[in-house]
């Protein structure tokens, strides 16, 4: 990219303008990062991960959980000026380059004298990069289930590399992880991906499983790939972390960047996963249809099953957004059918009061009630997820049986399952913008020499997060939290929890004025609604 020097836009606040090597760039950070033993087996399932976090401590209880960098294992690696400093599109931006000391706090609500807690490295472009534009050979792979926004992320990685950094060698790996060694690749250019954001699914195809670390890294090495962008959920990010470990063991200059994807919004640390806004918006169509069907007949019941294997965020937010839902059932909040305060009693009361009722149930809800009949209880899919029984069909049948038994009340029940309609649609405007920021954050990080990281907004600011932080736990709805209380108030449904259960849950939580380390604000409900994003990268 040969632009006039008049467009240079150095960050005057950055004191590292004259850095020539990465040693000085990282001299202030801990070097105890990530020493793992070489591995003989090629199966991800059997690989031990002895992760040692890269920690830098500061005053007032501050600590930075940093991400790996090439300089951790490749000595005397050269750096280059960032091509963005000569790009006329960015000439008007003041302080475009992120200061090397910028970090993002995970816990935003603190007491006056409480520790500042865990921070992550802020995402964004750096003045020095570790790749020359013509040496970059990048690849992109999508794994796991479909999610709105996958094509947008692919598009913006390709266009970001091309337009911001002058990279013109980008491969798409077809068919998920096994595509590295068993499928063809496709050349990706801005022209090829120009309008893919208007389509659902992924143009690269996807699959579950198929992870063979040795074969994948062999393929990366044989093809001369030096930047790997991996888009997928927690299982996919686990695979990405193992790939990074093998690349590091071999001493390769290959950046591994993850973009977390889950329609269920169950990725921890980050404010929200892409595709979630679209899923909640599309779920409104199904809920509205169920409401129309239910109110059009006497004693009509509409049941809508939404995605949410272990986390009920889609069901909760779709219920709050709809205002037409009378009962929301999620995995985090156990419920029971028979007896006082049970679901049957609530349905009878609501039908007598309103003449109709709408129930939203997340796919992972009520699984303990199906336990006796679950033959697939110990079975897993190719990604390692437990196979669940269809709670929607089951609860529909149980409700029919209850009201048929003894001819208590004649009901008309309609069951709607929009699962694949929701996840197969293109992303909405909000998610399109969000996907762009995620893609650009990943590109900036890889070009700056960071590796073994995933990207996402933390309290509205995009950050680079070590893989281990997003694969250790799952983000879940906290039923002793204000957001769940808002839902109970909106639907007027019982909590289905006895006082003893609530007190036990509260004892496991911190006081409402503080957040737990490792959990984001949106899951704790200290923010009103979903976290507000800032166009940070």
Picking from 407, 392, 390, the residue whose alpha carbon sits closest to that of residue 360 is 392
pLDDT of residue 385: 56
Looking at the structure, tell me whether residues 468 and 326 fall in a common domain.
no
- The verdict on whether residue 145 carries a ligand-binding annotation is yes
| Residue 287 forms part of a structural domain | yes
Report how far residue 122's alpha carbon sits from residue 526's, in angstroms, rounded to the nearest whole number: 22
- Is residue 209 within 8 A of residue 179, CB to CB? The reply is no
Q: Where are the alpha helices (DSSP H) in 475-520?
A: 482-491, 499-508
Report how far residue 210's alpha carbon sits from residue 403's, in angstroms, rounded to the nearest whole number: 47
pLDDT of residue 357: 97
Looking at the structure, tell me whether residues 190 and 229 fall in a common domain.
yes
Looking at the structure, tell me whether residues 184 and 211 fall in a common domain.
yes
Strands 128-129 and 80-81: antiparallel
**The domain that contains 499 carries what CATH number?**
3.40.50.460
Burial (CB count within 10 angstroms: exposed 0-12, middle 13-18, buried 19+), residue 40: exposed
Backbone φ and ψ for 346, nearest 5 degrees, come out as -65, -40
Looking at the structure, tell me whether residues 249 and 205 fall in a common domain.
yes
| Residue 529 forms part of a structural domain | no
- The verdict on whether residue 420 carries a ligand-binding annotation is yes
Strands 62-66 and 117-122: parallel
- The verdict on whether residue 423 carries a ligand-binding annotation is yes
Looking at the structure, tell me whether residues 203 and 257 fall in a common domain.
yes
- Is residue 233 within 8 A of residue 259, CB to CB? The reply is no
Opening angle at CA 101, ends 99 and 102, nearest 5: 70
pLDDT of residue 390: 86
Looking at the structure, tell me whether residues 435 and 362 fall in a common domain.
no
Backbone φ and ψ for 15, nearest 5 degrees, come out as -85, 0
pLDDT of residue 520: 45
- Is residue 263 within 8 A of residue 423, CB to CB? The reply is yes
| Residue 461 forms part of a structural domain | yes
Return the active site residues: 264
pLDDT of residue 445: 98
Angle at which helices 150-165 and 429-447 pack, to 10 degrees?
50
- The verdict on whether residue 235 carries a ligand-binding annotation is yes
Looking at the structure, tell me whether residues 251 and 190 fall in a common domain.
yes
How long a stretch of residues is the chain?
Answer: 537
| Residue 64 forms part of a structural domain | yes
| Residue 514 forms part of a structural domain | no
pLDDT 10s digits, 268-308:
999 999 999 999 999 999 999 999 999 999 999 999 999 99
Looking at the structure, tell me whether residues 305 and 222 fall in a common domain.
no
Looking at the structure, tell me whether residues 225 and 360 fall in a common domain.
no
Measured from the Cβ of residue 1, the count of other Cβ atoms closer than 10 Å reads 12
Strands 117-122 and 103-105: antiparallel
| Residue 18 forms part of a structural domain | no
For residue 364, what is the DSSP state? Answer: T
Looking at the structure, tell me whether residues 244 and 159 fall in a common domain.
yes
pLDDT of residue 93: 78
Average pLDDT, the chain: 83
- The verdict on whether residue 208 carries a ligand-binding annotation is yes
- The verdict on whether residue 61 carries a ligand-binding annotation is no
Looking at the structure, tell me whether residues 152 and 234 fall in a common domain.
yes
Report how far residue 536's alpha carbon sits from residue 437's, in angstroms, rounded to the nearest whole number: 7
- The verdict on whether residue 262 carries a ligand-binding annotation is yes
What pTM does this model have?
Answer: 0.83
The total domain count for the chain is 2
**The domain that contains 438 carries what CATH number?**
3.40.50.450
List the chain residues with pLDDT less than 70: 1-51, 371-388, 406-407, 497-537
Looking at the structure, tell me whether residues 318 and 460 fall in a common domain.
no
| Residue 83 forms part of a structural domain | yes
Report how far residue 362's alpha carbon sits from residue 421's, in angstroms, rounded to the nearest whole number: 15
- The verdict on whether residue 533 carries a ligand-binding annotation is no
- Residue 413's domain comprises 276-374+387-425+479-503
| Residue 19 forms part of a structural domain | no
pLDDT of residue 498: 54
pLDDT 10s digits, 72-111:
999 999 999 999 988 888 777 777 899 989 999 998 888 8
């Amino acid at each position: 990219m040969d632009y006039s020097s008049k467009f240079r836009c150095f960050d005057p606040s950055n004191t590292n303008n004259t850095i020539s090597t990465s040693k000085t760039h990282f001299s202030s950070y801990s070097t105890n990062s990530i020493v793992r033993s070489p591995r003989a087996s090629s199966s991800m399932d059997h690989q031990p991960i002895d992760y040692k976090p890269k920690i830098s401590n500061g005053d007032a209880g501050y600590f930075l959980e940093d991400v790996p960098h090439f300089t951790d294992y490749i000595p005397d690696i050269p750096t280059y000026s960032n091509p963005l400093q000569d790009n006329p599109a960015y000439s008007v931006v003041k302080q475009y380059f992120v200061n090397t000391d910028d970090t993002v706090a995970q816990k935003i609500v603190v007491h006056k004298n409480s520790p500042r807690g865990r921070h992550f490295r802020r995402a964004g472009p750096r003045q020095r990069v570790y790749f020359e534009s013509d040496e970059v050979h990048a690849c992109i792979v999508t794994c796991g289930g479909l999610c709105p926004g996958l094509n947008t992320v692919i598009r913006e990685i390709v266009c970001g590399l091309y337009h911001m950094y002058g990279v013109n060698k980008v491969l798409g790996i077809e068919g998920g992880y096994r595509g590295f060694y068993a499928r063809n690749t496709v050349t990706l250019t801005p022209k090829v991906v120009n309008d893919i954001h208007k389509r659902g699914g992924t143009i690269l195809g996807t699959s579950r499983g198929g992870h063979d670390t040795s074969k994948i890294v062999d393929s990366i090495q044989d093809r001369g790939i030096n930047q790997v962008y991996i888009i997928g959920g927690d299982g996919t990010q686990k695979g990405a972390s193992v790939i990074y470990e093998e690349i590091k063991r071999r001493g390769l200059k290959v950046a591994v960047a993850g973009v977390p994807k889950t329609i269920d919004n169950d990725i921890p640390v980050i404010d929200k996963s892409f595709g979630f806004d679209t899923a909640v918006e599309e779920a409104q169509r199904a809920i509205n249809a169920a409401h129309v069907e239910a109110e059009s007949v006497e004693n009509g019941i509409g049941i809508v099953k939404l995605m949410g294997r272990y986390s009920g965020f889609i069901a909760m937010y779709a219920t709050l957004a709809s205002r037409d839902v009378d009962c929301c059932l999620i995995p985090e909040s156990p419920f029971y059918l028979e007896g006082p305060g049970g679901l049957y009693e609530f349905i009878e009361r609501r039908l007598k009061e309103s003449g109709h009722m709408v129930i939203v149930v997340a796919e992972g809800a009520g699984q303990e009630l199906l336990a006796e009949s679950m033959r697939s209880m110990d079975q897993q899919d190719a990604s390692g997820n437990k196979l669940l029984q269809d709670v929607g069909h089951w609860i529909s049948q149980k409700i029919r049986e209850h009201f048929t038994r003894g001819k208590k009340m004649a009901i008309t029940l309609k069951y709607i399952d929009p699962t694949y309609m929701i996840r197969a649609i293109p992303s909405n405007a909000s998610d399109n913008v969000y996907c762009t920021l995620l893609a650009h954050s990943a590109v900036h990080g890889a070009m700056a020499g960071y590796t073994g990281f995933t990207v996402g907004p933390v309290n509205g600011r995009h950050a680079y997060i070590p893989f281990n932080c997003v694969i250790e736990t799952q983000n879940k709805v906290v039923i002793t939290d204000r957001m769940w209380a808002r839902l109970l108030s909106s639907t007027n449904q019982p909590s289905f929890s006895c006082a003893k259960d609530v007190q036990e849950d509260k004892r496991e939580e911190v006081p409402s004025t503080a957040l737990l380390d490792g959990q984001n604000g949106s899951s704790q409900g200290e923010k009103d609604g979903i976290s507000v994003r800032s166009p940070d990268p």
